[in-house]
């Protein structure tokens, strides 16, 4: 039976969270050149238009434990690529590789989508790398569909763009 987890809004500048974000950055650096990695830095994750969430394991006796995943949503104004509709952008999705396959990524995505709906945003968009096969599978399994580039991202052949109406 998979370990339970709890997902809640937390600050991204905690040491344990920073370590997971650093692992994500190192992983992305093995796949793509620096100019193709569209990473929000920690100070950007602290901006008022960003909601950052952390998944933590729940241990014996309901004790909240170690960080096992992260994800954020960034509120964005409408643009030509969204026909003027404001949207939420999924950023910094990461599940500890040792904890994958337990549904944490899907749970994180559901929490991020619920956060967007609470903020009055019915469109969720994301950019991911084409070589991040696990991420692509997760997004497609959760109802995200391929779409054209948005948000000023270059359509460089390395990125995959997805969207979902909530």
Residue 22 belongs to domain with CATH number = 3.40.630.30
42-58 average pLDDT score: 96
Residues 6+ positions from 13 with CB-CB distance below 8 Å: 42, 45, 46
How large is the average pLDDT for residues 82-104? Answer: 95
pLDDT band with cut points at 50, 70 and 90 for residue 64: confident
Please give the Cα distance from 106 to 141 (Å, whole number): 9
Per-residue pLDDT band for 3 (boundaries 50, 70, 90) equals low
Number of structural domains in the chain: 1
Mean pLDDT of 2-27: 92
For residue 130, give every residue at least 6 positions away whose Cβ sits within 8 Å of its Cβ, in sequence order, or none: 136, 157, 158, 159, 160
Residue 52, domain extent: 5-165
Return the residue matching tokens 């992305």: 28
1 — pLDDT class (breaks 50, 70, 90): very low
Let me know: does 70 contact 52? Beta carbons within 8 Å: yes
Greater model confidence, 6 or 62? 6
């Amino acid at each position: 039976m998979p370990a339970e987890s709890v997902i809640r809004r937390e600050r991204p500048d905690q040491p344990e969270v920073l370590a997971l974000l650093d692992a994500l950055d190192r992983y992305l650096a093995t796949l793509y050149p620096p100019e193709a990695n569209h990473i929000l830095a920690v100070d950007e994750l602290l901006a008022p238009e960003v909601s950052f969430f952390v998944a933590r394991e729940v241990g014996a006796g309901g004790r909240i434990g170690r960080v096992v995943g992260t994800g954020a949503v960034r509120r964005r104004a409408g643009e030509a690529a969204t026909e003027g509709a404001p949207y939420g952008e999924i950023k910094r999705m990461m599940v500890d590789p040792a904890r994958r396959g337990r549904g944490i990524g899907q749970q994180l995505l559901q929490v991020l989508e619920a956060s967007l709906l609470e903020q009055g945003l019915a469109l969720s968009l994301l950019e991911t790398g084409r070589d991040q096969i696990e991420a692509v599978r997760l997004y497609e399994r959760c109802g995200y569909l391929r779409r054209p580039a948005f948000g000023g991202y270059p359509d460089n052949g390395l990125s995959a763009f997805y969207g979902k109406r909530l």
